[in-house]
Amino acid sequence: MRYSLALSAEARLSIRQQRDWYHTELEDGDELAVRWTRELDKALEKLREHPERYGLAAENGRWHPEVVIRRMLFRPWKSGVGWRVLFTVDEAHQVVTVLQVRHEHRLLLEEGEE
Per-residue pLDDT tens digits for 46-82: 999 999 999 999 888 777 788 899 999 999 888 778 9
Using N-to-C axis directions, what is the helix angle for 9-25 and 29-49, rounded to 10°? 150
User: Rounded to an integer, what distance in angstroms lies between the CA atom of residue 26 and that of residue 90?
Assistant: 38
Strand segments (E) across the chain: 4-7, 70-74, 83-90, 95-103
CA atoms within 13 A on the CB side of 79: 5
Say what the pLDDT of residue 74 is: 93
Asked whether the predicted pLDDT for residue 5 surpasses 90, the reply is: yes
Say what the pLDDT of residue 111 is: 46
What CATH number is given for 4-103 in this structure? 3.30.2310.20
- Domain edges within the chain: 4-103
Whole-prediction pTM:
0.86
Say what the pLDDT of residue 107 is: 57
